[in-house]
Amino acid sequence: MTHPLTKLRVNKQVTAEMISRCERTVDSIPEEVLPRCRFGKSVGFRVVDIETLLARVASGEVRIGKVNQ
Instruction: For domain 4-68, say whether CATH 3.30.410 is its number.
Output: no
pTM of the model: 0.81
Tens-place pLDDT, residues 20-60: 999 999 999 999 999 999 888 888 999 999 999 999 999 99
Domain boundaries, the chain: 4-68
Q: What is the pLDDT of residue 30?
A: 94
Q: What is the pLDDT of residue 42?
A: 87
Q: What is the pLDDT of residue 8?
A: 87
Q: What is the pLDDT of residue 69?
A: 43
In the predicted structure, residue 6 carries a pLDDT above the cut 80: no
What's the number of CA atoms in the CB half-sphere (13 Å) around residue 65? 14
Q: What residues contact residue 53 under an 8 Å CB cut-off, 6+ apart? A: 19, 29, 33, 34, 62, 64
